């Protein structure tokens, strides 16, 4: 059980850290005039998460209606 909790906490910390690093200028309130390169393309992450959740909902509906 602790192993699974460690995996979930580690994954959450990884995503949170990437998000904070990508948005640190906005969090601190510093205006950056140069173009910044993000570690993660959050639009793609959001799109992939939406597709995954839609597929999981569809599979759940298929399993529960049979």
Residues of the chain with pLDDT under 70: 25-39, 66
How many distinct structural domains can be found in the chain? 1
pTM, two decimals, is: 0.49
Q: What is the pLDDT of residues 37-53, one digit of tens each?
A: 666 787 888 888 899 99
pLDDT at 57: 94
Helix, strand, coil percent content, the chain, rounded in steps of 5? 75, 0, 25
pLDDT at 27: 58
Q: Which domain holds residue 35?
A: 2-65
């Amino acid at each position: 059980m602790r192993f699974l909790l460690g995996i979930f906490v580690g994954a959450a910390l990884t995503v949170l850290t990437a998000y904070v690093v990508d948005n640190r200028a906005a969090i601190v309130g510093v205006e950056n005039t140069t173009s910044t390169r993000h570690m993660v393309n959050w639009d793609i992450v959001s799109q992939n998460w939406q597709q995954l959740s839609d597929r999981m909902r569809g599979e759940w509906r298929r399993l529960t209606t049979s």
